[in-house]
Chain A
Amino acid sequence: MVENNERNSFGKVGKGFRSFLKFREAMLIFIVIGFVLIISIMSPNFLTADNIRSLLVGLALDAIMVIGMAYAIITAGLDLSIGSVLALSGVVTGKLFVMGVNIWLAALIGIIVAVLCGALSGFLIGKVGLNSFITTLGVSGIARGICFVITEGTPIPLINKLPESFKFIGGGKLKGIPLIVIIAFVILIVGDLLLRRSASMRKIYYTGSNEKAAMLSGINVVKVKFGVYIISALLAGIAGVLADARFGVATPIIGGETAMTLISAAVIGGCSFSGGEGSVFGAILGIFLLSLVTNALILLNISIYWQQLVTGIILVLAITLDHVRNKRMEQSMLRLRKI
């Protein structure tokens, strides 16, 4: 809602480039481009096909899951269970496959189990009205616990038994582009377009920016929240199956830091915890920036330990800058109205 107003009012004032600057994601695009330029000057290995391919493969799974996180944050919620649900779907798939179930059926069941987790959080947050942070924290504990119980703490190796067709999803290439990147790309486009264009998905913004107003204007807020957490778990489930296909092993400890990475990315990309703001595109740019930082530090031979510090500082800086910029925009909007 707020976003639309901003765009309209500035669309009248600025033209072309200037109105582009007012896009929320504009600053981030500049940062990413600037970053790419700097690294490619400093390290000749950056702009090579191999490096870019490994960069994209590395962020593909996170990119799929960040859609769910962005949706959750836009409804003024949060989904901390994504990492554990990712592990659960992978582990369930792997375990069923080892027990002799067809891999595609196993994957389907894995994704269904993930969706059930999402339904539990969705029910508790939407229907009962609990706080999303603590609910998804609890669901996360449950999912992670079941992972450990199923696997007894050890990874399940699958690589030797997996059929070629399933392995192809994780490791195959189409004209030099890894299939997993193409899958992620398609899901991202769909996720972004739906959020921008589909009427039912726009309800996510209304619910997030003012829940009471949304309810009074006839939006079924419970259903929206329920749907958001199911989508988020569904994407995590898909990512879990893809992780099985990519690594050839189902690990119970995968995704321990995922939720935090996704939250950082979504917030760097312009999602606000107060809800009603943000976009899938921004969140992906956030994931991209975080991966670039990691990649750059590796290429520049900087100790891996500095990476954490730099990531943390970038996060704090990005948020503070964005906040200051937003405030300035609000002020200039006020000035416009007075004129």
Chain B
Amino acid sequence: MKESPVQQDKKRVSLFGRGENSTVVMMLIFFFIAIILIQLITSAVSGKVVYPSFISPVNLLNIIMQVAAVGIMAMGMTVVMVGGGIDLSVGMLTSFVTIFIAKSIMHWGIPLWGALILVVIIAVVLEMIMGYIISRFSVEPFIITLGGMIAFRGIALIICNSQEISTQGALAVLKTNLIEGAKGPSGLNLTFPIYVVVFIVITVAIWWLMKYTKYGRRVYAVGANRNAAYLAGIGVQNVVMSTYALNGFLVAIAAIMLLARVNTAIITVGQNLEIDVIAATVVGGVAMSGGKGNIWGTFVGAILLGSIANAMNILRLQSEWQFVAKGVIIIVAVTAGAIVQARQARAQFMRQIK
């Protein structure tokens, strides 16, 4: 996607502008260093210096376990947003999927695998309906998916009658620890469940899809300039619709992983999840206007946002501060991104008039 002028810019722009994901990667590194320093200083003040528990293997695995579900959803959101859309309904779709699975295996007597396949199909179809309306009538995706969000919450509440449903460990297979018996330096058991593997596999798959396939490049083209893409012979409407369908598939997978982790289906599982997902995506450098962004940026963004809450716990701060920290990080990330972009544009302009 990046043309040669931008490639040349790499030499001219300062450290901050190097590469597409530099902003978010730098922020992650700064954040980690800051937390480690705080931990070292506080332990030094209290007498003896200890290894900072924030970067202990146990905690790092913990962070990635907490991030997995949001991360998978952020991959789907990246595809949708690169295609020029947005999806606010993912949070409530997650609630709906978890409740549907729990209800069908516990109360309706549908076998587990049947329920999983059924729910994935339903999620894809629901998203496709929204995608159809968005692409065919070219209505604002924001508002259609907002309507979808409200409607999905209604369906989920009607199904579960506002009660929580325990799955009684029906999905425990997804929690299987792949490195059973491995111990960290502090003697704690390390866990590396299957759903983390699923997260990583999906990340790689979507990265490959977006970067190296014809389909992925079409999504970028549609997001960058719809009319130009249309004139270039791309079926714009179908591409847009397919991004939502793909998103529905990924949300269903993420919801299954989430259900495996928490073991209980309840309406609040997905509440405000869309905000976290969009935040991770945007912090990762995906532009709200479409056509810009990549999967690894989103990956780092998800990890960054996921480690904030974790760091708050490690530092024994009031958990309420995490809202403030998240807000500040979103604003800083977006501002830094905008500044880098402005500098690149200026550098390009200066070279042109030279």
A contacts, CB < 8 Å to B: 124, 128-131, 133-135, 137-146, 148-149, 152-153, 260, 263-264, 267, 272-274, 303, 305-313, 315-316, 319-320, 323-324
Smallest CB separation, A81 vs chain B (Å) = 9
- A152 B147 Cβ-Cβ under 8 A: no
- A134 B161 Cβ-Cβ under 8 A: no
Interface residue SS majority, chain A: helix
- B154 A323 Cβ-Cβ under 8 A: no
- A134 B320 Cβ-Cβ under 8 A: no
B contacts, CB < 8 Å to A: 133, 137-140, 142-144, 146-155, 157-158, 161-162, 275, 278-279, 282, 287-289, 318, 320-331, 334-335, 338
Smallest CB separation, B121 vs chain A (Å) = 20
B137 to chain A: which residues have CB within 8 Å? 320, 323-324
- B139 A124 Cβ-Cβ under 8 A: no
Not counting A149-B324, A319-B140, a sample of 12 additional A-B residue pairs whose C-beta atoms are within 8 angstroms of each other reads A131-B288, A133-B288, A134-B278, A138-B334, A141-B323, A145-B322, A146-B324, A263-B142, A309-B155, A315-B147, A316-B133, A319-B144
- Chain B: which residue is nearest A305 at the CB level? B157
A316 to chain B: which residues have CB within 8 Å? 133, 144, 147-148, 151
The total number of A-B Cβ pairs within 8 Å is 142
- B318 A130 Cβ-Cβ under 8 A: no
- A152 B320 Cβ-Cβ under 8 A: yes
A116 to B140, CA, bound (A): 30
B151, B155, B158 pick with most chain A CB within 10 angstroms: B151
Smallest CB separation, A325 vs chain B (Å) = 11
Partner of B330, one of A128, A137, A149, A309: A137
A263 to chain B: which residues have CB within 8 Å? 142-143, 146
- Chain B: which residue is nearest A308 at the CB level? B154
A142 to B322, CA, bound (A): 9
Partner of A139, one of B279, B322, B327: B327
A264 to B139, CA, bound (A): 14
B157 to chain A: which residues have CB within 8 Å? 305, 308
Smallest CB separation, A327 vs chain B (Å) = 9
- B335 A128 Cβ-Cβ under 8 A: yes
Given A133-B288, A305-B158, the answer on whether A145 and B325 have CB atoms closer than 8 Å is: yes
Smallest CB separation, B130 vs chain A (Å) = 8
Partner of A124, one of B142, B279, B335: B335
Given A134-B330, A139-B327, the answer on whether A312 and B143 have CB atoms closer than 8 Å is: no
Given A146-B324, A149-B321, A308-B157, the answer on whether A135 and B331 have CB atoms closer than 8 Å is: yes
- A309 B322 Cβ-Cβ under 8 A: no
Partner of B143, one of A129, A134, A264, A311: A264
Partner of A323, one of B139, B146, B328, B335: B139
- Chain A: which residue is nearest B332 at the CB level? A138
A142 to B321, CA, bound (A): 9
- B335 A267 Cβ-Cβ under 8 A: no
